[in-house]
Structure 1
Amino acid sequence: MSLPLIGQPPPERADAARNRQRLVEAALRIVAARGVAGLALDEVAREAGVGVGTAYRRFGDVGTLAYALLENHELRFQEAFLSGPPPLGPGAPPHERIRAFLDALLDLQWDQWELRLLATQKGPHGWASGPYPTYQLHLVHLLRSLDRDLDAPYTASVLLALLNPTVLDHQRHGLQLKPERIRHGFEAVLEALL
């Protein structure tokens, strides 16, 4: 299941909710013990004491499970940019909110690096899964508030593509760029745009 927008979670049966919780807790134990590389749905099912079919019906793939492990952090992030204090939340000028949002998103990518990379590489829709539609919608709204002649949906997708965990992974490991250099380069692109 993809991460929802902020709001009430979809209703589910009590036994399904218990199984989901058991699977998430088991996955967190596995990640703590062996890292993200040890995460596999059949292993998580065994650790949780539920059938493998239950794990696959619930999550479908390890990428979707990774998004579930990120859910609490993600919901706090969404609350911060939708209703938290400025400049990330409402009340600051659009250009300040755009900077704050993208800066916070980059921090979130680094802080949850392995899980976010797994979620985007192994999920059925890659980077377009999970919270991406929420990020896109929020950024489009902020870009339209700039009152500039920008194609807001396209510009939002380009900015978000620069923060795609797969792109960041290539920059960090393939190109051997340090995180500070990646951040500086991203900020230069953003400065030129804004």
Structure 2
Amino acid sequence: MDNLTLSSGCCSLDGESKQFKKCNTCVKAFHLECLGTCQSRAGDATGCWICPTCINSNTKTINKDNTPVRFNPNVTIRTQKRQTSNSPPEAVDSEAPITRSDLRAIVEDITERKFETLLVQLTNTLRSIMTSELGTMRNEIKDLRESITFVSDQYEEMIKENKKTSETVRELRSENELMKSTIKDLSFRLNNFE
């Protein structure tokens, strides 16, 4: 190959004794010594070889970002990202950014669902607490009612016994008065007989 028709991709193409490779994309010549051993073997089997500059420029156009890329044949590039297990479903149009109203709707939906869940849990908890507390209160009220009924019955009996005792005392007083008068009368008679 004529060195005058080739443009240099690395250093200058001085000297015809140096071996070089020609890029199939940009048609520039690169010395094998300048490329290094791993670069000099790349593409030997197919006869097609692309220089690191063209590879980097192709990578930049595919990614469409401004980050400079260095070529490394040992690095594999992931084609698609894997979705995590707890991430929300991917949007239909992944290019469209989430707006504030979309975010607000998502947050309101999640909050509403969480609030409903918490409300159900709170209702169930309150219901169980009230049932257990009201059950114990019912038992205590039942015991108190039985105690009051017992005391009331005892009081009624005491009142009845008190009435009977009062009547007995009256009768005994009247008998006592009668006996006193009889004794007096007998005593007076006895004194008269003597």
Give the TM bin, normalised by the shorter chain. Answer: under 0.3
User: TM-score of the superposition, structure 1-length normalised?
Assistant: 0.21
- Give 1 or 2: higher strand fraction: 2
Larger radius of gyration: 2
